[in-house]
Amino acid sequence: GAVVSQHPSRVICKSGTSVKIECRSLDFQATTMFWYRQFPKQSLMLMATSNEGSKATYEQGVEKDKFLINHASLTLSTLTVTSAHPEDSSFYICSARGTSGETQYFGPGTRLLVL
Amino acid sequence: SQKIEQNSEALNIQEGKTATLTCNYTNYSPAYLQWYRQDPGRGPVFLLLIRENEKEKRKERLKVTFDTTLKQSLFHITASQPADSATYLCALANTNAGKSTFGDGTTLTVKP
């Protein structure tokens, strides 16, 4: 149980384009989803927290207009990197938490490379 | 400010020995603490959760302790195997529905 998927696992795009990453909880309802980015050999950096049906709460320094988050259902959240630039290249990981309100279960991550 | 420190970036041990990883925190009153394993290029995988009123938790070869006086959690892997080699992250949450804050992780290498 508690499986979270992400799609795509890897994406390469040109500078200026937008990229959408999907995060799905496959066997539980995720009342809260989190989006992280991780640079090589560094820890997870929380970008935003989203609760189903409401606007995401962004961490300080994260541009909400650049990283659009939608959590329209209890099993799906999307992160759209708008007008991507090479500095947005990173490993993006989502996690989901169910109604128990404790453990976060992570997706396998999405490697984004912006050329 | 709140701070989470995990012992030494890297830990190397011989197969069969017990690996002990440390997670210390300051300016934090966690409701619970979690340990995750992360392999290169993959998302973290949940291992164990321990609550503030629990001293110890076990799962197979894993054992976690939580000392709220020392503000420290220890994560033990007994009879370690090369397959245990990975980065281990501790994460603290100060409320039952709050967001978790992650440490930088300790990379464990178990040599055959």
Q: How confident is the model at residue A72 (pLDDT cuts 50, 70, 90)?
A: confident
Closest residue in chain A to residue B94, using alpha carbons only: A102
B94 conformational bin, left if phi > 0, alpha if psi -120 to 50, beta if neither: alpha
A18 has a pLDDT exceeding 70: yes
Q: How far apart are CA B24 and CA A92, in angstroms?
A: 26
DSSP letter string, A55-110: PPEEPTT--TTTEEEEEEETTEEEEEE-S--GGG-EEEEEEEE-TT----EE---E
Which residue type is seen at B71? K
Q: Which residue has the higher pLDDT, B1 or B65?
A: B65
Please report residues of B whose CB lies closer than 8 A to that of A93: 43-44
B96 has a pLDDT exceeding 70: no
What is the pLDDT averaged over residues A86-106?
90
Share of chain B above pLDDT 90, in %: 78
Closest-CA distance of chain A to residue B83, Å? 19
CB contact under 8 A, A93 and B44: yes
Query: β-strand B86-93 against B100-102: which pairing, if any?
Result: antiparallel
At residue A32, the 3 state secondary structure works out as strand
Residue B70 class from Cβ within 10 Å (0-12 exposed, 13-18 middle, 19+ buried)? exposed
Give the tokens for residue B84.
Answer: 């245990």
Q: How confident is the model at residue A54 (pLDDT cuts 50, 70, 90)?
A: confident
Q: How far apart are CA A82 and CA B112, in angstroms?
A: 46
CB contact under 8 A, A108 and B99: no
Q: How far apart are CA A92 and CA B91, in angstroms?
A: 18
Q: How confident is the model at residue A113 (pLDDT cuts 50, 70, 90)?
A: very high
pLDDT tens digits along B33-54 = 999 999 999 999 999 999 989 9
Q: How far apart are CA B93 and CA B95, in angstroms?
A: 6
B62 has a pLDDT exceeding 70: yes
**Does any CB of chain B come closer than 8 Å to the CB of residue A77?**
no
